[in-house]
Structure 1
Amino acid sequence: MKMTCLRASAMALALMAAPLSVLGSASAETIRVSYATAADHPYGLGVKKFAEVVEAKTGGRIRVRGFPSGQIGPEVQSISAAQGGILEVVVTSTAALSGVDKAFGVFDLPYIFETDREADTILDGPVGTEMLRRLDSKGLVGLCFWEAGFHQVTNSRRPIKGLDDFRGLKIRTIQNPVMIDVVNTLGSNAVPMPYTEVYTSLETKAIDGQTGTYPLVFANKIFEVQKYITEANLFYAPVTLLMSKKYFDGLSPADQAIMRDACAEARTTERDANRALSPEALKQMQAAGLQSNVLDAATIGAIKEKLRPVVDKHMKALDPEIVAALQTERAKLGRGSAASGK
């Protein structure tokens, strides 16, 4: 295991350290895409579609090679590499982008989206367009939004059916202040850690549970070391396909348009795959012994009320123009104020 990790680290460092000009035809003909999941996850299917479209529309002048499972590096490291111009493309959660632009923290808030339709309408509309535009000054080009989906809660101690059931559970979160506050406010103890450490930590009982989407829990075999999963839709996790601005600016206008078109076509593939996989993943995990339940509307309402101070606190730290635009779009969809948590 240690030798495997060392080899993976060495590969990542070599890829990061090598300038584009010495990586064969990478700068002119090959786009490398770094992503954290396995190749057969919806991310990987999206990358495959992106590659097919780019290669078809450029007549093979530009090829795309995906590097799954964090081979090049974790999300934050890959974002930095893209900013520096030594990696062409990274697929990353918006949570990891909060360190690049705090405005992306709006997507970390609980229940900011409640349905796929809401997410698609807002992310593919004016709000999403403006969020991606903000990355231009950060050395990145946001091509479009994909998705990881809605986060559910797993644990090994008891089914979660009400607020009291969260109390005392040690729940893993990413190293994100919003999500840490959410978990702690619900009465659990937030334990921030990289996702690569989650399986072992659950297996050894160092933590009791974690939050994640059905496809993620399934793909990473989290269900093997958990007894319960609760559908809470606590967070919705958007994903961005980011391109190095240095690389993008070196493309012709026609090729730049191809990149955006390819992202949009791959977006449909990735989202459709993710949404189709979610119920199938749950079904297979249930067959393997994972016990599941769905929180009712009254319980979801109680959770939102409990989390209102968290939403208000973190909303105040965000760009007011982004908050106002988001509230306007939510209102069009029949949703209340984002700051209210309703």
Structure 2
Amino acid sequence: MALALTTVPVAFAGTASAQTIRVSYVTAADHPYGIGVRKFGEIVEAKTGGKIRVRGFPSGQIGAEVPSISAAQGGILEVAVTSTAAVSGVDKAFGVFDLPYIFASDREADAILDGPVGTEMLRRLESKGLVGLCFWEAGFHQVTNSRRAVKGLDDFRGLKIRTIQNPVMIDAVNALGSNAVPMPYTEVYTGLETKAIDGQTGTYPLIFANKIFEVQKYVTEANLFYAPVAVLMSKKFFDSLSPADQAIMRDACAEARTTEREANRALSPEALKQMRAAGLESNVLDAATTAAIKEKLKPVVDKHMKGIDPEIVATLQTELAKLGQGSAAPAK
């Protein structure tokens, strides 16, 4: 991957000719990420009169999330569309979005990410060689596995559940009595197929697009995590643009954000419907079980809250309170 990136000419190296923005993302091209990238490209190309073009690289073609972030920081990739879980490796404060049950609804997530909290989080990245253009979404994580229907807290016990290499998510899965197995997403299908792991967490569109349902028997709607997506531009590339073109980048991301979120939210129920038709058994956790899970996860939240900038936590709690949620902690 590093060789592939370093051998591609850097589009912005001191030229006033037409430029190409390469956008790296890990999902299939027909996933909402891809839809968002195409919309972003249409807007950028239209508003710059074709002076700047956008080319998407789906399915991790030029790198998984963490390497793509590093490439953007180093100025050899223009844009990385990535989970905030991966961004927490750059700034630990992004770990606040990894906390289980941090948001109760799409409405809450949109208000926080598009408001003061999200704005401040993106601003912090500029000192890390990145410009956060805006937030998109992957959505709420559900739990799939091949062993049994998860209907109660005890049903999590002993399941080998894949997570990304993220301390909050690893601790959360382990706290439920499962065994967290960190693994790159590109290896998940094979891991499930060979029974190296029993299950994984993911959104309905992601489970569907990557055909995870082919090697799983059960899916439980748990809404365990909400997954924001950060659209990150190389600061080196951003700084090479004129102020007008910089504004176009931010505006295009925001306009594409609406398209991406709408596509994701429309696809979720349709993806579940098609997966059920293919034989995947589904259930929804009841309120009592969800409350028990939140209580079980409270020590995980308390532990990881301590490592996050107190000002970010305070602002998040204030904004959630305005929306009717008393605290960022899941027990509330």
TM-score interval for Structure 1 and Structure 2 normalised by the shorter chain: over 0.9
Matched, 1:258 2:274: no
Matched, 1:41 2:43: no
Q: Give 3-state SS (helix, strand or coil) of 1:210's partner.
A: strand
**Does the 8 A contact of 2:291 with 2:331 survive in 1?**
no
Question: Normalising to structure 2: TM-score of the pair?
Answer: 0.97
**Does the 8 A contact of 1:16 with 1:72 survive in 2?**
no
Deviation of the 1:114 alpha carbon: 1.3
Q: Indicate which of 316, 327, 331 corresponds to 1:326.
A: 316
- In 2: Cα distance, 1:272 partner to 1:21 partner: 31
Deviations 1:202-237 (A, max 9, x none): 111111100000000001110000000000000000
In the alignment, which residue of structure 2 is the partner of 1:6?
none
**Does the 8 A contact of 1:33 with 1:64 survive in 2?**
yes
- Following superposition of structure 1 onto structure 2, how do residues 50-69 of structure 1 map, counting pairs within 5 Å? 50-69=40-59
**Does the 8 A contact of 2:162 with 2:200 survive in 1?**
yes
Matched, 1:154 2:144: yes
Q: Indicate which of 113, 119, 129 corresponds to 2:109.
A: 119
- In 2: Cα distance, 1:197 partner to 1:179 partner: 18
**Partner amino acid for 1:332?**
K
Question: Normalising to structure 1: TM-score of the pair?
Answer: 0.94
- In 1: Cα distance, 2:106 partner to 2:12 partner: 43
Q: Indicate which of 298, 318, 341 corresponds to 2:331.
A: 341
- Following superposition of structure 1 onto structure 2, how do residues 29-108 of structure 1 map, counting pairs within 5 Å? 29-108=19-98
Please provide the CA RMSD for this pair. Answer: 1.6
**Unmatched 5+ stretches in structure 2:** none
Q: Give 3-state SS (helix, strand or coil) of 1:206's partner.
A: coil
Q: Give 3-state SS (helix, strand or coil) of 1:158's partner.
A: coil
**Partner amino acid for 1:159?**
A
- Number of aligned positions between the proteins: 332
**Does the 8 A contact of 2:160 with 2:181 survive in 1?**
yes
- Following superposition of structure 1 onto structure 2, how do residues 169-184 of structure 1 map, counting pairs within 5 Å? 169-184=159-174
**Does the 8 A contact of 1:46 with 1:270 survive in 2?**
yes
- In 1: Cα distance, 2:220 partner to 2:131 partner: 36
Deviation of the 1:269 alpha carbon: 0.5
Deviations 1:85-107 (A, max 9, x none): 11111100000001100000001
- In 2: Cα distance, 1:114 partner to 1:57 partner: 36
User: By percentage of residues, which structure has more helix?
Assistant: 1
**Does the 8 A contact of 2:142 with 2:203 survive in 1?**
yes
- In 2: Cα distance, 1:340 partner to 1:162 partner: 17
Change (3 A) 1:27 1:57: same
Deviation of the 1:16 alpha carbon: 3.0
Q: Give 3-state SS (helix, strand or coil) of 2:329's partner.
A: helix
